[in-house]
Amino acid sequence: MDILLPYLHTVILAAIVLFSCYLLKRSKSSKTKLAPQAGGAWPIIGHLPLLAGAELPHIRLGALANKYGPIFTIRIGMYPALVVSSWELAKELFTTNDAIVSSRPKLTGAKILGYNFANFGFSPYGEFWRGMRKITASELLSNRRLEQLKHVRTSEVEVSVKDLYKLWYSKDKNEATQVMVELKQWVGDINLNVILRMIAGKRYYGAGVVTDENEARRCQRAMREFFHLTGLFVLRDAAPFLGWLDWGGHEKAMKKNAEELDSIVDQWLEEHRRKKDSAGESANKEEDFMDVLLYALDGINLAGYDADTVRKATSLSLIGQHFELLPFGAGRRACPGMNFGLQMSHLVLASFLQAFEVSPLSNATIDMTATAGLTSSKATPLEVLIKPRLPASVYE
Ligand code: HEM
DSSP of 95-122, one letter per residue? TTTTTTTSS----HHHHHHTTTTTSTTT
Is residue 114 within 6 Å of ligand 1 at its C-beta? no
Among protein residues, the one with the nearest Cα to ligand 1's atom 42 is: 337
Spans in the chain with pLDDT lower than 50:
1-24, 28, 321-326
As beta bridge partners, residue 72 has: 83
pTM, entire model: 0.82
Is residue 327 within 6 Å of ligand 1 at its C-beta? yes
Please check whether residues 182 and 121 belong to one and the same domain.
yes
Among 158, 224, 221, 239, which Cα is nearest to 194's?
A: 158
Q: What's the confidence (pLDDT) of residue 281? A: 56
Of 61, 82, 100, the last residue of a domain is 100
Residues 6+ apart with CB under 8 A from 144: none
Of 75, 100, 125, the last residue of a domain is 100
Q: What's the confidence (pLDDT) of residue 320? A: 52
- CA-CA-CA-CA dihedral for 86, 90, 93, 96, to nearest 10: -100
Please check whether residues 276 and 329 belong to one and the same domain.
yes
Of 73, 100, 127, the last residue of a domain is 100
Could you give the residue ranges of the DSSP H alpha helices within the chain? 8-15, 17-26, 48-52, 57-68, 87-94, 108-113, 127-135, 143-148, 150-171, 183-200, 213-230, 235-238, 250-279, 289-295, 307-319, 338-355
Please check whether residues 61 and 162 belong to one and the same domain.
no
Please check whether residues 37 and 112 belong to one and the same domain.
no
Measured from the Cβ of residue 279, the count of other Cβ atoms closer than 10 Å reads 12
Separation of 43 CA from ligand 1 center, angstroms? 36
CB 197 within 8 A of CB 319: no
Q: What's the confidence (pLDDT) of residue 231? A: 82
Please check whether residues 231 and 311 belong to one and the same domain.
yes
Q: CATH code at 207?
A: 1.10.630.10
Domain count, the chain: 2
Q: What's the confidence (pLDDT) of residue 24? A: 47
Residue 255 maps to a domain: yes
Residue 1 maps to a domain: no
Q: What's the confidence (pLDDT) of residue 283? A: 54
Is residue 131 within 6 Å of ligand 1 at its C-beta? no
Domain that residue 71 falls in: 17-100
Measured from the Cβ of residue 266, the count of other Cβ atoms closer than 10 Å reads 13
Separation of 396 CA from ligand 1 center, angstroms? 35
Q: Residue 42 has what DSSP assignment?
A: B
